[in-house]
Structure 1
Amino acid sequence: MKKQMLLIDGHGLAYRGFYALPENLAAADGTPTNAILGFMNMLMKALEEWPSEGLGIFFDAKGPTKRHELFENYKEGRKPTPDSFKVQLPLIVELCAGMGLPVFMREGVEADDCIVSTAETGARDGWGVKILSADKDLFQAINGDIAVIRPSRGVTDFNLYDEESFREKYGFEPMLMADYLALVGDAVDNIPGVPGIGDKTAKELVGKFGALEGIYENLDSVAKARRGRLEEHRELAFRSRELIVPQPTAPVPFAELAVGEPRMEELLPLCRRLGLKKLLERFADGTEPAAGEEAQSVMTREIKAVDVSLDELLASDDLAIAPAVILLGGFALADREGRTANLDLSSAEDVEKFSGWSEHGTLTLYGCRTLMSLSPELPLPPFERIRDLEIANYLLHPDRGGLKGIARAIGGDLPEDRELALRLFDLYEFFEPDIKRYGLDKVMLEIDLPLSRTLAKMYRTGIHADAEMLAAVEDELSHNIAAAEADIENYVGERINLSSPKQVSQLLFERLMLPPIKKNHRGYSTDAYVLEELSKLPEPLCVVPQKIINYREESKVQTGFVQPFLKLSREGGGLIHSTFDHLATGTGRLASKDPNVQNMPVFGDWADRFRACFTPRDGESVFVAADYSQIELRVLADLTGEEKLIQAFHDGHDVHLETASWVFGLPSGDITPEQRRFAKVVNFGLIYGMSAFGLAQRLGIPRNVAAQMVDKYFSVLPKVQKYMSDSVSEAKERGYTMSHFGRIRPLSEVATIDGRGNNPINRVAVNTPLQSTAADIAKVALFRFDEVLEREFPTAKTVLQIHDSIICECRRDEAEAVEKLLVKTMEAVDILKVPLKAEPKRGLSLKEV
C-alpha cells in the first residue's frame, strides 16, 4: 500500500478561515481570531480524515518572486491585506510549529510552486499525494497519484478531486487548468485573462480545443464575437498562463515531512491566550486550563452576581432578562453591575412594578418573539428600547441563526437562567458594532421586532383543525392503503412492502419485467418520474405502477399530514399552534414549525380533502385571505430599473403576456396560451438561475431553441441581464448580498455555495435580494395589518402567513370590510417603483382560500 503525503496550502487556508468566520471573533486581549479558528478547524479535520506519513504546511514568504519578474503588475490589483489578517498569520505559523507540524516558507518562492514540485516528486517516488488548498491553480497538479482537497463551504466541508471528478466538473483534463484560468483570469492575483471570456466559454473552448495553442489554431471555428476578443488579447492570454503554470523549484526533502513532538511549553500558553479551547484540550490530555487562563471571545468579563430585591434592581434603567428555570413562569433580571433579582409573573405586584419600569427602561434579551409567545403577560418596553440578541445574530448571520450560530460566533455555549441575564449585555455588545456598521439596527427596529409581536399572537391564536373531518379522512386513507396492498398482493401472488424501494424495484423490473427507466446507486429507480412513465404503458402493464403512485400519495398525506395534525388537534382542543419563525431562513422568508403549516399539500384530491379540514373556529366566521400577485417579478422590475417591466406593472398588464409579446415579436393579442406559458417559465426561471439547458428540459424544446429564447429575452430586457451580472460581482466584492431593506446575507456562510448545479453562489447573489425584499414586504404587511385589525375588528384574528399570502378569520358580516382593509394594507407597503397588487379570496376552509 502506498505511503500517503498531505501537502497543505497554509496561506490559502488562512485566508479561507478569515473570510468564512465573523470578523469580530477575538481573544480576551483583543487579538482577532477568525482566521486562526477557521484555519485550525480545517487543519484538524483534514489531519483526522486523511492521515499521512508525510505532512507539510506551506506559507508564502515576504518579498518578490519569479512571477514579479514575468509580470510587473503581478498581484498589484489585489486589495491590501487586512490588518486583522496580518496579525493572525504569524500566530498560525507559530501554532503549527508548536504542534510539531512541518512548516515551510522559502524566500523568493511561492508556496504553490513548492507544493507542486514536492507533490510531483513524491508521486514519482511512489507516494499517494493529496494537496489541501482553496486555490484553483493547484488543480493542474492532479494526476493518477495526486488529488486535490478543496474546502466546499465554510470551514467544515471538503471536496476531494481526482482525475475523474475533476473531468466531471470541468469537462477537460486537469493539466489544462492553467489554460482555463488564463482565459477567465484571477482577480485575486491580478491575472488578467481575456476580457469578455467567462467560465462557461472558457470551459467550452478548453474542452473542445485543449490548450491555448489548440484554441488559437482553431479560431476559425470560434464564434465571431469570441474570436475577436481572443485575437485582440492573445498575448495577454499566454502571459496569464505563464503566471499560473508552476515555476520550477526544489522539492522539500521527504525526511523533512515528518511530524515532530509538540513543543508544549510554547503551544499551551499560546492556546490559552487565544482562547483555543478545543486545541488546548487536545494537547493537554483533556485537562481544563486553570481558572482565569481560558480566553473566550466575549465570556471573559468577571461578573460577581449579587442578589438584591426587585425594587432595588428596578432602579436601574438598563436591565437584561432571561427565563428563570427555578421559577416556573418567572424570569431572572440583571443589571450591568451584576445585581440580580427574580420577576415572578404570578405576582400581580411584581408585574405592576416591572410594567412601570418598562415605561422608561431599556431591556436586553434573547428571543423577543418566544418571550411574547409563551409569556404574553410580561410587560415589555417599546421596541426602540429592546435589544434582542437572537435577532442581532440572525441579522448578521442569517444562515447561522439560533443557539448553535451564537455558540459558533462567541466561541462558547449560550448560558441559561441568571447566568444568561448577567452575560446578555456583553453578548449583545459583541454583535452591536457590526449591527450598526451594516445599518441593521433599522431592520431590527422597523421589521423584526414589531413582527415578533404579530408572530407571537399568531402562535397563541392558532388555527382550527376539525378533528372529526381529519379522522374521517384518516379512516378513508387507511382503507384505500390497505386495499392497494391487497390488490397488488392478489395481482402478483405475494405480499410486497410498498414502502420499500428495493422490493418495489424487484416487483416492477424482475417480476413484472417492466422496462427500467433509470438507475441510481441502489439499482433501478422507482421514483415519481419513473412511475409516471410506467403508468403511461398500455394495460395491463400500467396497472401496478398506477396503484403504487396512488399508494405513495395516500401514504404521504396520511403519515405526513393527516395523522400528526389529527393528534395535535385532539391535544389542542381543535386548535393547532404553529411557531412562525422569522429568524430561520437565509433569504428572510418566514418559516413554520411544530407543525409546519406552510408546507401543506396543495395539488390533488387528497390535498383538497386535507385542507378542507381547516375551518374557522365557529359557524359565524369565514376566512379572508389575500395573495401578492407576482411580487418577486415586481421586485425584479424595481431592482433592475427595467422600463418595460415597470411600465407593464404600472399599466396593470399581464406581465407574462407582455414578455411573450416582446420575446416572440408579436402583438399581445396574437400570443397563444402556450407562448405565454413559455414566457412565464422564462420570467421565473432565468431570475432563479435556470440555464438554457434547464429551460429546454422544462419546456420540452431543443436546447438551441431555448438558448435563442434566452438571448432574445435579454435583448429586450437588457437591464435584467445587467442586474444579474452586477449583483453577482457586487455581492462577491462586498462578501454579502443586500436587499432593498438593507438585509444582508454573507456569501461565505451559505450552505449551498458548492452545492447543486453550476454557479450556485451566483444564484444566491441574484436570488437573495429578490426573495429577501419580497419576504420583507410580506412581513411588513403582516404586522401592519394585524395591528390595524386588532384595533378596528377586535374579534378578528390573523391566523396564517404562507409565503406571499396572509389569511385571517373574521365574522361573516365583517368579511367585506376586513377584505378591503387587508388588500389596502398589503398594497400600501409602498417602497417599489411599481405598484403592489394583492388578490383577495374568501372561504369556509383553507381549501377555498
Structure 2
Amino acid sequence: MTKKLFLLDAMALIYRAYYALIRSPRITTTGRNTNAQFGFTNTLFDLINKEKPTHLAVCFDTHAPTERHTDFSDYKANRQEAPEDLLASIPDIQRIIRGFNIPCVELDGYEADDVIGTLAWQAADAGYEVYMVTPDKDYGQLLIHPHVYIYRPPYMGSKEEILDAKKVCEKWDIARVEQVVDILGLMGDAVDNIPGIAGVGEKTAAKLLKEYDTLENVLENADNIKGALGEKVRKGKESAIISKKLATIITNVPVQFHEENFMLKEWNSKELIDVFTELEFKTLGKRILGETFNAFQSAPAGVQTDLFGNVVESAAPAPKAEVEEAAATGFQADKNINNTLHSYSLLDTPEKIKEFITVALQQTEICFDTETTNIDANEAQLVGLSFSFSPHEAYYIPCPANQQQTKAILALLNELFSQPQITWIGQNLKYDLLVLKWYNVELKGALYDTMLAHYVVEPEGRRSMDLLSAQYLGYEPVHIEELIGKKGKNQGNMRDVEIERVKDYAAEDADITLQLKQALHPLLKEKDVEKVFYEVENPLVKVLTDMEFEGITVDVDFLREYSKELEREAKQFEQNVFTAAGVPFNLSSPKQLGEILFERLKIDPKAKKTKTGQYATGEDVLLKLAANNPIVSDILGYRELTKLRSTYVEALPQLLNSKTGRVHTSYAQAVAVTGRLSSNNPNLQNIPIRTDRGREIRKAFIPRDEKHTLVSADYSQIELRIVAAISGDPNMCEAFKLGKDIHTATAAKVFGIKDEEVTKEQRYRAKGVNFGIIYGQSAFGLADNLGISRSEAKEIIDNYKKEFSGITRYMDSTINFAKENGYVQTLMGRKRWLRDINSSNFTVRGFAERNAINSPIQGTAADMIKMAMIRIHAAMQKEKLRSKMLLQVHDELVFDALIEELDVLKPLILENMKAALPLPNEVPVEAELGVGQNWLEAH
C-alpha cells in the first residue's frame, strides 16, 4: 500500500475557515466565536475520512522573525492584524489536533511553508506520496519533486483539488514549476508584501519568462526589452532579486521526518470530547466520535463513565444547594434529572386533573408545554400536556390516541385555559398555541415566550431549550433521542414509550422553561429591551398563530398549466442555446457551459476561473455578458424558468395541508438578527418579483371562495423614510413631507437639476445610490451595479454626500455610538450587539460598521410591520370581522377579505399601518393597498 503523508498549513487553513463563516458566525452560548475551530475541524476530519492518509502533521508559523524579515524589513508589513476571535481559536485548534494524536510542527526562524517544504521532500525521497494541504499558490515551486502535490480542500461549495506540476504550470502559464519563484519575483505578492517589479503583473511576468526562461535572464536582457516594460525591468532589478529570494521556500530547515512520529494513531477521545463539549460542537462531535460522544453527552452528572458510556462508578446526587451554587458559577451543564431534586406528577385520571385545576386556578403564571406526534403543528396530534408553576415541580397529563378522549381532557382544562388573569409561559409558544387551536382551544391570558425573551436579549446565536438550560441553569435536560432514538423534537412514536419516562421528559420541559423565565426576566430590564419584548415580540405570537392556522388557498390547476408552459419555454431557450453553440450539451453543468462559452465560442477572452479550475458561470458573470451575447440571454432565461418550475411551481402543491388543502407557511420569529420575520414551507420571502415570469407565481395564491378576495397592503419606500427620519437630513425629510418621488428628488439634487428635468436613467442611478449608500456600497460597487465608470460613480456618491449631508452624519454618529456602547438600536429599542466594532482587523471591523448602519434601519422597519400586524389583528377582532390576515412578506401584508367587509377593512388596514410606529422629524409613513382575485392582481 502506498504511504501517503499529508502536511497541513495550519494558519492558511485557520484563516480560510474563519472568513468562510464571517457573515454568519458560530457563536456559543457563552459568546465565543468558533468559526475557525469548526471549519478547521471539519477540514481535518473530512481529509482523514476521505483521503485515508497513513501519516499526517500540522505545521504552524511562530512569532519569531525569519531570515525574510531580516532581508526585507517590510516583509508581510501590510498584513492587517488577525481578528481577535481567530487568534483566540489557535489554542483550541491545537487541542483538537492533539486530540487526533497528530503532531504539530513549528520552528522559530522559519515559516510553516519552509517546514512543510523540507518535510515534503524528505518524505518523498523516502518513497511517500506527499500532499501539502494549503490554498497558498507559492507551494507550486515545491512540485519539482515528482511525488509531491498540492491538496486544496473543498471550500464554499467547491470540490477538493489536487495539483501536480503540470496543473501548476497551466495555472501560471509557465513551462516548469521551477519558474514559480521567478514569476513571483517579477510580479511580487501583495499578500506577503513582496514588491516584485512595479507595473509587472502575472501575464507580463509569464510572457517574459516564455522569452527568457528565468528571472536572472530577464534582468540580464533588460536592455533588450523595448519600451516602458524595459524601463520597468531596469528600475526594478534589485526589487526583483530580493523578491525572488523572499518567495523561495526553504527546503533545508533543521527538522527531520521520522515516519513513526507522523503515523496516524488512535484518537484521544477524552481530549476531543472535552474540547468539542466546550465549543458546543454537538452535531460535529457525534459525526466524528459517534455514540462515544453521545454517551458522554447524555451521561448524568454524578455518574462516571468510560469512553464508551459504560457506568464505572456511581456517585450520590449532589445536595440541592451545591447544585444551585454550581449553576451560578458557570455554564457547564453539571445538573440533570438524576442529581437534582424534583417532583413530577402524573395526572392520568379525571379526578387528578380536577384536583390540579383547583390549585392551578390560584396561580397568576403557569408554564406549559405540549407533546405531540409531529414537528409540524398543523399536522400534529396531542400526546400530552405538561404544566409547572413552581421550580422543580411539574405535572404531566397524557392524551390518548383516541381523539374523543383527548377532547374530553381538554374540555376539563378549558376552565383553566380561559382565565384572562393567567400569564402563560412557554418556549416557542406559537407551536403549542397552534396545536391547541386545531382542538378549538385558545389561551385567553397573556403570553411570555422564553425563546423570544432570549431573542431580544441576545439576537444572534442559537436558542433551543437545551442550550438555554445549559447557559442559564447549568442543567442538561433529557434528550428526545433518549426516548425515541431519533433526532428532532417529537419525531418517532412517543405513544410507544413507557408513560413514566414520557412524564419525566415532558414535565422537565415545563419545569426548565419556568426556571428559564426566572433567569431571563431580569435581563430584559438589564439590557433595556423590555419595550420591544412586551410591545412587539410577545403580542405577535397570537397573531402569527392565527395566520399560520388559516393558511392560504393555492390554485393547483393554474400551477399545473404554468409548469407545462415553463417547460415548453425552457426547452425553446435550450434549443436556442444549442443552435448558437453548434452542439448539444448539459446546460446544467457549469464545466460544460464554461467550455462552450469561453473555449468554443470565445465570448470573453478575459474569462475568469474558479478555484476548482472551471470557468466562472454564475449569474453575476453571465449578466455582464448578456447584452452583447444572445446565447447568454437564452442561458439566463433557461435557468430562470427551470428554477421557478422546480422550486415553486412543482413544489407548492406538495405542501398542501392534508386537513385543509391549503398551504400553511411557518413564520420564524427569532431567527433574523434585524428583527425581520422569515418563513419556510414554503419560504414566501423568496418568491421572485423582479421578473415577469417570477411574478406570475403569485397568481397561484387565491381567495378561499367566491365570497372572498385578496387584499395586499404594502409600505411605501419604508426603509428610505426611516433613513430620513432617524438621520434628520433636511433634504430627504422635505422630499417625503412634500410627497415627492424620493428617487426623482434625489436625482435632482445629485445632478443639480429641476425635478421635471430628471431623466429615467438619472432616476435609476439615484435609486441605486439611495439604496446602496446606506448599505456601505463603495464607488466600485455602485459602478458595477449601474454599469458606469468608477469615476462617474464616485462623483455621484460625492454629490450625494454633499446634498444629503445628514445621511453621512448619521452613518458616522451611529458607528461612533456603537464603538462606545457596543450596540445599536431601533426606534423601539431593539438592540444589536456588535462585538467586533472595535476590532483591529479592518475587514471584521468594516463588517460590524456596516451592520451598525443597517440594523437600526432594517430593525425599525421590522418593528413597524410587526406592530402594524398586532394593531390590525386587534382591530379586526374588535370589529368582529370574518376576514383574515394570511401572509407577511417583507413590507407587505396579505388578507383573505370577505367582499362585504371591504369598505370597513381597507381603511382599517391603512390607518393601522400608518399609525403603527410614528417616525421622528415628521416624516410621514405611507402604505398602498390593492384588491384582486389573486395575489399578483392585488399587489
TM-score, structure 1 length as denominator? 0.67
Distance 1:97 1:530, change over 3 A: closer
Matched with 1:471 is 557
Deviations 1:215-237 (A, max 9, x none): xxxxxxxxxxxxxxxxxxxxxxx
Matched with 2:430 is 369
Rounded Cα–Cα distance in structure 1 between residues aligned with 2:592 and 2:847: 37
TM-score, structure 2 length as denominator? 0.61
5+ long unaligned stretches in structure 2: 144-148, 174-181, 206-247, 310-330, 348-352, 375-379, 400-405, 480-486, 491-501
Matched with 1:647 is 734
Matched with 1:783 is 870
Rounded Cα–Cα distance in structure 2 between residues aligned with 1:280 and 1:620: 54
Q: What's the secondary structure of 1:302's corresponding residue?
A: coil
Matched with 2:316 is none
Distance 1:767 1:66, change over 3 A: farther
Rounded Cα–Cα distance in structure 1 between residues aligned with 2:620 and 2:189: 43
2:6 to 4, 7, 22: 4
Rounded Cα–Cα distance in structure 2 between residues aligned with 1:460 and 1:804: 21
The answer to whether the aligner puts 1:451 opposite 2:540 as a matched pair is yes
Rounded Cα–Cα distance in structure 2 between residues aligned with 1:802 and 1:265: 47
Give matches, 1:340-739, under 5 Å: 340-342=395-397, 346=407, 347-355=409-417, 359-360=421-422, 363-365=425-427, 367-376=428-437, 377-380=440-443, 382-383=445-446, 386-389=448-451, 392=454, 396=458, 398=460, 418=503, 419-423=505-509, 425-426=511-512, 429=516, 432=520, 436=524, 438-440=527-529, 442-465=531-554, 467=555, 471=557, 474-475=560-561, 478=564, 501=587, 517=603, 561-562=648-649, 565=652, 575-600=662-687, 602=689, 611-612=698-699, 614-721=701-808, 739=826
Rounded Cα–Cα distance in structure 1 between residues aligned with 2:825 and 2:171: 33
One-letter amino acid of the counterpart of residue 842, structure 1:
G
Deviations 1:632-665 (A, max 9, x none): 1122234544343233333433321221122112
Distance 1:298 1:574, change over 3 A: same
Distance 1:762 1:251, change over 3 A: farther
Range that drifts further, 657-666 or 736-745: 736-745
Range that drifts further, 316-325 or 392-401: 392-401
Q: Is the 8 A contact 1:505 1:526 kept in 2?
A: no
Deviations 1:755-804 (A, max 9, x none): 9x998776555444432332222122112211112212422321222211
Matched with 2:324 is none
Range that drifts further, 702-711 or 419-428: 419-428
Rounded Cα–Cα distance in structure 2 between residues aligned with 1:651 and 1:695: 28
Rounded Cα–Cα distance in structure 1 between residues aligned with 2:265 and 2:842: 36
The answer to whether the aligner puts 1:331 opposite 2:380 as a matched pair is no
Rounded Cα–Cα distance in structure 2 between residues aligned with 1:605 and 1:276: 44
Rounded Cα–Cα distance in structure 2 between residues aligned with 1:678 and 1:414: 49
Rounded Cα–Cα distance in structure 2 between residues aligned with 1:349 and 1:426: 27
One-letter amino acid of the counterpart of residue 848, structure 1:
A
One-letter amino acid of the counterpart of residue 5, structure 1:
L
Matched with 1:830 is 918
Matched with 1:848 is 938
One-letter amino acid of the counterpart of residue 395, structure 2:
T
Shift of 1:579: 2.6
Rounded Cα–Cα distance in structure 2 between residues aligned with 1:22 and 1:492: 48
1:322 to 352, 359, 370: 370
Q: What's the secondary structure of 1:785's corresponding residue?
A: helix
Shift of 1:737: 6.7
Matched with 1:196 is none
Q: Is the 8 A contact 2:913 2:927 kept in 1?
A: no
Range that drifts further, 293-302 or 625-634: 293-302
Shift of 1:333: 0.8
One-letter amino acid of the counterpart of residue 508, structure 2:
L
Rounded Cα–Cα distance in structure 2 between residues aligned with 1:491 and 1:90: 54
1:742 to 796, 805, 830: 830
Rounded Cα–Cα distance in structure 1 between residues aligned with 2:786 and 2:83: 48
Rounded Cα–Cα distance in structure 2 between residues aligned with 1:95 and 1:491: 51
One-letter amino acid of the counterpart of residue 551, structure 2:
G
Q: Is the 8 A contact 1:9 1:59 kept in 2?
A: yes
Distance 1:297 1:37, change over 3 A: farther
Q: What's the secondary structure of 1:501's corresponding residue?
A: coil
Matched with 2:115 is 118
Q: What's the secondary structure of 2:676's corresponding residue?
A: coil
Q: What's the secondary structure of 2:882's corresponding residue?
A: coil
Q: Is the 8 A contact 1:827 1:837 kept in 2?
A: yes
One-letter amino acid of the counterpart of residue 557, structure 2:
A
One-letter amino acid of the counterpart of residue 841, structure 1:
L
The answer to whether the aligner puts 1:308 opposite 2:335 as a matched pair is no
Matched with 2:498 is none
Matched with 1:258 is 262
5+ long unaligned stretches in structure 1: 184-202, 211-244
Q: Is the 8 A contact 1:320 1:333 kept in 2?
A: yes
Deviations 1:107-136 (A, max 9, x none): xx69xx664653464467579675789xxx
Q: What's the secondary structure of 1:307's corresponding residue?
A: strand
Matched with 2:493 is none
One-letter amino acid of the counterpart of residue 672, structure 1:
T
Count of residues in correspondence between the two structures = 754
Matched with 1:102 is 103
Aligned-residue CA RMSD (Å): 6.6
Distance 1:321 1:118, change over 3 A: same
One-letter amino acid of the counterpart of residue 6, structure 1:
L
One-letter amino acid of the counterpart of residue 308, structure 1:
L
Matched with 1:198 is none
Rounded Cα–Cα distance in structure 2 between residues aligned with 1:434 and 1:160: 52
Distance 1:158 1:66, change over 3 A: farther
Rounded Cα–Cα distance in structure 1 between residues aligned with 2:200 and 2:369: 62
Distance 1:177 1:51, change over 3 A: farther
One-letter amino acid of the counterpart of residue 455, structure 1:
L
Deviations 1:681-703 (A, max 9, x none): 22123334544344334434333
Distance 1:251 1:787, change over 3 A: farther
Distance 1:329 1:117, change over 3 A: same
Matched with 1:189 is none
Q: What's the secondary structure of 1:595's corresponding residue?
A: coil
One-letter amino acid of the counterpart of residue 713, structure 2:
A
Paired-residue identity, %: 20
Shift of 1:206: 11
Distance 1:457 1:122, change over 3 A: same
Distance 1:815 1:432, change over 3 A: same
Rounded Cα–Cα distance in structure 2 between residues aligned with 1:504 and 1:92: 35
Rounded Cα–Cα distance in structure 2 between residues aligned with 1:720 and 1:161: 50
Deviations 1:75-95 (A, max 9, x none): xx999999xx99x98787667
Matched with 1:199 is none
Distance 1:793 1:678, change over 3 A: farther
Shift of 1:631: 1.1
Distance 1:167 1:414, change over 3 A: farther
